[in-house]
């Protein structure tokens, strides 16, 4: 179960106790916002895309109320945005749909953070399952996700 992967990863950083697990689904932005008790925009949703070679994933973490701007994506990455097919999500990200997060991913996975989250003091990304989240500052998210950089690819 990928929440255990995230828990073990967070144990290395002494923050495993920060993982929130819910008795209800948090697999969508709306459900996560209800479970956490925050506005949907503060849910840090992780979107997964193919690399040019289609052999690895690019993860982009955005504020829950944002959408990818295809022209900005193409300008930054030099290719059209193509989301992972359902059957490729878990093999390329290490997590099942609904629990994809920027922690405990395969080494080939590149994580980018969208600037849309910087308006919040804390955000809530998933923690590896469809009923978990973790409260992090943007600085903590950047550190623990091993993010390559902050980018602006949303509308």
Which residues does 137 contact at the CB level (< 8 Å), separation at least 6? 121, 122, 123
- Distance CA(69)–CA(3), nearest Å, equals 30
The mean pLDDT value for 19-35 works out to: 96
How does DSSP classify residue 1?
-
pLDDT in tens, 36-63: 999 999 999 999 999 999 999 999 999 9
Summarised one tens digit per residue, pLDDT across range 73-128 is 999 999 999 999 999 999 999 999 989 999 999 999 999 999 999 999 999 999 99
Long-range contacts: 78-82, Cβ < 8 Å, 24+? 78/52, 79/52, 81/49, 82/49, 82/50, 82/54
DSSP 18: G
Domains assigned to the chain: 2-151 (3.90.960.10)
């Amino acid at each position: 179960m990928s929440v255990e992967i995230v828990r073990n990863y967070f144990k290395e950083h002494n923050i495993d106790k920060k993982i929130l697990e819910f008795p209800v689904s948090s697999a969508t932005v709306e459900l996560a916002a209800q479970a956490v008790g925050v506005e949907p925009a503060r849910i840090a949703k992780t979107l997964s895309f193919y690399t040019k070679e289609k052999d690895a994933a690019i993860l982009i973490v955005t504020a829950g109320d944002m959408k990818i701007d295809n022209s900005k994506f193409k300008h930054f990455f030099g290719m059209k945005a193509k989301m992972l097919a359902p059957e490729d999500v878990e093999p390329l990200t290490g997590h099942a749909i609904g629990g994809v997060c920027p922690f405990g991913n395969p080494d080939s996975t590149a994580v980018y953070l969208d600037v849309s989250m910087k308006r919040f003091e804390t955000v809530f990304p998933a923690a590896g399952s469809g009923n978990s989240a973790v409260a992090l500052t943007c600085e903590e998210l950047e550190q623990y996700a091993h993010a390559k950089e902050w980018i602006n690819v949303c509308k």
